[in-house]
Structure 1
Amino acid sequence: MELKKSSSKQEEVEEIRTIEKPIDDSFLITWESPTDPKNPKNWPYARRWVQLVIVSVFALLGPMASSMVAPCLDQIAERFHIENSTEKALVLSIYLLVFAISPMISAPLSEIFGRRILLQAGNVIFIVFNMACGLARTKAQMYIFRFLAGFGSATPMGLGSGTISDLFTPEERGRAVAVMSLAPLLGPTIGPVISGFIAEYTTYKWIFWSTTIFSGFVFALSIPFLTETYPKTLLGRKARKLNKIEKTLKYHTEWRLEHIPQRKLVAPALMRPLKMLTTQPVVILCAGYMAIQYGILYLVLTTYPVLWTHDYNERPSIAGLHYIAPGLGLILGSQASGIFIDKTFRFLKKRNNGKMAPEFRVPVILLGTMFFPTGLFVYGWTAKYHTHWIGPDIGAAMFNVGLMLGWRGIQTYLIDTFIIYAASSTAVACCIRSLAAFGFPLFGQTLYDHLGYGWGNSLLAFIVLGSSIITCSILWFGGKRLRAMSDMVIFKDE
């Protein structure tokens, strides 16, 4: 199919591949031109960012609610008579376990029904069962309600990348990814700051009720302001509308799915992430990299209160304030990565005679490799020798800067590679990283008990360093070959 290109919208044309109607098919429903105002990429700048911010706030809720229980685990354990340390950790980890399941369902379904309905449905599920957590009477009820609340709150984790692919061209994605990805990473640091005061001055139940109130407010905002962005959904609606008006079946999109009942598309869509997980080398590599980093992040964050309350003898409310340090690191890393990714992309594209490649995202991953292990070394050895509290906080801020830089590179790489299936590809990464976030905290305290903060964090730093170097080398030198081995890749090398 012939594509008409323009200098300002070339990437968009490359991605969608059906921007203008070919003259030999007058019934093909697609964008009227590269500047069609109905195309989400051509919406006014402010409107696109409003959509992204709303999705980002949805994505903030789940991780924030997951980590808020950390300072209150002792209260919860006492209330439900939980004495086993593993069962106690499960109150937090079971929420993360479902983060591995929910995006694998919501992301492919959004590629059938659209982004908006999935985001709002997930939020409603979260509101209902998060409130139920505060009303739970047994530990079994607490586990079940946490699991179901996590299922609803994890919906945006798989849809954020897809939304970015819908709204932004490759040259704009760096900053968009930085903002979108900041929310789920900032959540685990904001949550304990709030819940530290809740643990000291009121009951653990307010952890659940406060997040429920906030989530309800966000849902109310989404009703008038959140709109559909997925091209397949928007064009499919137009085709179905014209067919209904003219009582015909001649109008169709490039994908020719509008004549198939949506229920028949569900099974193949749900299999897409599973197929990516088992057959796409690019996805497997990126997911493995993200899993190691996310698992280590949650290992450190869930053991963070122990350092301050037991080793530094601080009250829970004061201990919770130390989460501000990793939060500042995430914000700094987000801003730096947003600027660095886009500028590096433009520079490398210019050097490559105006041709883009997903591998142009690798330099920011390598930059993150410098900060993450260094931060872990600083955090670990300053904590071991009980230096001034600013020492561990500086280390925590540093490794979160590195985490943000590395993640932004990987996420934009997946978006550039899979484009319209970006949601499914990042859902796989979300699945694997969430399994790591579920598993790593279960042995975190044991690691520090045996090796101490110094050597324990040094071991984690060496793991991060090795995995990052391997990932960067494979993507930079062999990324094109990996993409050629992946039959689900949408991006085509010029």
Structure 2
Amino acid sequence: MDSKMSESLTVDAEKQHQQTLPVDAEKRQLAGAEKTPSVHPSTKTVVGSDKSKFQDAFRVELDASDDPKQLPPLRKWIIIIVISTSALCTAFASSCASFTEEGIARDLHVVREVGILSISLFVEGLGLGPLITGPLSEVYGRNIIYRVSYFLFFVFTWPVAFPPNIATFLVFRFITGFCSSAFLSVAGGSVSDLFENRKVASPMAVYTISPFLGPVIGPIVSGFICQNANWRWVYRVLLIWQFAMLSLLIVIVPETYEPVLLKAKAVKLRKTSGDDRYWAPLDRREKSLSRSILESIYVPFQLILYDRMALLLDVWTALLLGILYLAFQAFPIIFEGNHGFSMQETGLSFIGIGVGMVIAVACQPLWNRFNARMREKHNGHPPPETGLIVGQVGGILAPIGLFWLAFTTYPGVPWIVPIIASVPFGAGIVFIFTSVFTYLVVAYRPIAASAMASNSALRSTFAAVFPLFAGQMYDRLGTVGATALLAGLTTLMAPLPFVYYRIGHRLRQRSRFAVKT
């Protein structure tokens, strides 16, 4: 999900660069030429008077027969559902370990805190993986990245499901997180590949909810399995799901990335026509793959170090994701300790967060209409700060939900009340993430992919660290004090979208990375 919007912007820019002259103009320019280049009938061309423009006559472009946007609507939706379910499985794998710590500690002979590392290491892998998969996808396309990464995700889960010792278990948890990260970084771009801008909102909403619902579904399933079977069955069920998704990815999902499709078409034309002058933009790629990977690694950290606006927004989303993953340790303390819930009942307590997330995504049509009014008001070019308005709503909802949750964790309060309190927190998470992602992509358009990568790396680090100190914090402060502390931290960050909405334009003028308009 992290680079879907930046990839969409990149594709749109390439399309603008590939505009062609009218057919009649081409005919007039070619009239009287002593030698006319042999151009394949399915290839659109741009012909000029100088040598470089003459060479553009062999630059290939997509037509209706090979453009992914021209696929039948039913097939496009099937592709989106397969990709979204694969992303859901990846996010599920991050949190399904939430009820396995006791079994790991018992069977692999470690303390419970070591078992918690199974979540932390997987999430850290999710954060670091996009630094590699992003540049690779720009060269080799989305489809090969999907298939290879999911195959490795499936293969390396076997040592997790059948671990001989704790070291093997933890190492492969990190590796599986790293390998599966493509579906939280590259997959969103497939949505923009398949749908035009005016139709992309609904399929993008379907994909967007998947990485958020996954961490909520994980403890629900894990709680039922761990109470009624051995903890290893959590990962065996994951293996079955992975195999099903890998099969569907291979059979159903085609390549949709336009630069790679153009390169394949150029290769085919060179082979069928015997003319080596046909070319695609990737054939003349100036930047090497190694340089792209190095930039993918160091530019995001430059952004964090030198741009305070991006840093604070990244910290805001990192704090929220850290709290969400801390809940996997806090909810058992709250509901098992104070309300006597069983393991599977505690897993079901996460439904409140999931309901809030679904409600937030269901509000997307309202935000689409609001954004349309903003475009009309600003002649089609609203400032990036308009994207922060949805974050203002989320910034209010998240602290309200956490404070409500904090002061209803007493044993005397009915158990349904704190679960209802988690609904606005779940909605606030989606609103805030949507707002920050949109702002980073638009405000830092020249380095949008790096802006999203820096956000991914920082929030994954918070999500990896927060569960490690949850038990000690709740033991020392109690359920009310610890949850109220988290609510207070989100309250301190809540003014960010309001402040940046007012002064964001001035801050962008002084930024080394942001757009100035």
Q: What TM-score, normalized by structure 1, do the two folds share? A: 0.86
Shift of 1:350: 1.0
Aligned-partner Cα distance in 2 for 1:126–1:11: 28
Cα deviation, 1:117-162, whole Å, max 9, x if unaligned, reads 1112111111112122121121111111212222222221111333
Whether the 8 Å CA contact 1:175–1:342 is kept in 2: the answer is: no
Gaps of 5+ in 1: 1-9
Tell whether 2:151 aligns with 1:124.
yes
Aligned-partner Cα distance in 1 for 2:156–2:62: 44
Tell whether 2:133 aligns with 1:106.
yes
Aligned-partner Cα distance in 2 for 1:356–1:37: 35
Shift of 1:63: 2.1
C-alpha change, 1:294 and 1:242, in structure 2 (3 Å) is same
Aligned-partner Cα distance in 1 for 2:506–2:78: 34
Q: Number of matched residues?
A: 475
Given the alignment, which residue of 483, 496, 503 partners 1:477?
A: 503
**Match for residue 35 of structure 2?**
none
Cα deviation, 1:66-104, whole Å, max 9, x if unaligned, reads 211211211111111112x43132122111121121121
Aligned-partner Cα distance in 2 for 1:207–1:166: 34
Whether the 8 Å CA contact 1:68–1:194 is kept in 2: the answer is: yes
Give SS of 1:228's match: coil
Tell whether 2:454 aligns with 1:455.
no
**Match for residue 430 of structure 2?**
404
**Match for residue 396 of structure 2?**
370
Aligned-partner Cα distance in 1 for 2:88–2:173: 16
Aligned-partner Cα distance in 2 for 1:322–1:55: 27
Whether the 8 Å CA contact 1:172–1:342 is kept in 2: the answer is: no
Shift of 1:403: 0.5
Cα deviation, 1:321-354, whole Å, max 9, x if unaligned, reads 1122212121112212x22331221110011123
Given the alignment, which residue of 410, 414, 417 partners 1:391?
A: 417
Aligned-partner Cα distance in 2 for 1:29–1:465: 54
Give SS of 1:382's match: coil
Shift of 1:298: 0.8
Aligned-partner Cα distance in 1 for 2:207–2:509: 25
Shift of 1:202: 0.7
Aligned residues: CA RMSD = 3.0
Whether the 8 Å CA contact 2:300–2:453 is kept in 1: the answer is: no
C-alpha change, 1:439 and 1:170, in structure 2 (3 Å) is farther
**Match for residue 84 of structure 2?**
56
Compare 11-20 and 356-365 and name the one that shifted more: 11-20
Aligned-partner Cα distance in 2 for 1:215–1:421: 33
**Match for residue 3 of structure 1?**
none
**Match for residue 252 of structure 2?**
225
Shift of 1:458: 2.2
C-alpha change, 1:442 and 1:102, in structure 2 (3 Å) is same
Given the alignment, which residue of 9, 29, 38 partners 2:59?
A: 29
**Match for residue 258 of structure 1?**
283
Shift of 1:270: 4.4
Whether the 8 Å CA contact 2:135–2:289 is kept in 1: the answer is: no
Compare 280-289 and 91-100 and name the one that shifted more: 280-289
The percent identity for this pair of structures is: 27
What are the equivalent positions in structure 2 for 1:37-76 lying under 5 Å apart?
A: 38-41=66-69, 43-76=71-104
Aligned-partner Cα distance in 2 for 1:52–1:151: 22
Q: Find the structure with the greater CA-based Rg.
A: 2
Given the alignment, which residue of 313, 321, 325 partners 1:298?
A: 325
Q: Which amino acid in the other structure matches residue 445 of structure 1? A: G
Compare 149-158 and 350-359 and name the one that shifted more: 350-359
Shift of 1:375: 0.6
Whether the 8 Å CA contact 1:101–1:151 is kept in 2: the answer is: yes
Given the alignment, which residue of 149, 152, 166 partners 2:193?
A: 166
**Match for residue 162 of structure 2?**
135
C-alpha change, 1:415 and 1:470, in structure 2 (3 Å) is closer
Q: Which amino acid in the other structure matches residue 250 of structure 2? A: I
Cα deviation, 1:426-473, whole Å, max 9, x if unaligned, reads 333222111110011112222222222223222222322332322453
Whether the 8 Å CA contact 1:102–1:154 is kept in 2: the answer is: yes
Cα deviation, 1:384-440, whole Å, max 9, x if unaligned, reads 454111111011122001101111222233444567975554333222111110011
Whether the 8 Å CA contact 2:132–2:296 is kept in 1: the answer is: no
**Match for residue 212 of structure 1?**
239
**Match for residue 268 of structure 1?**
292
Q: What TM-score, normalized by structure 2, do the two folds share? A: 0.83
Gaps of 5+ in 2: 1-8, 22-45
C-alpha change, 1:112 and 1:485, in structure 2 (3 Å) is farther
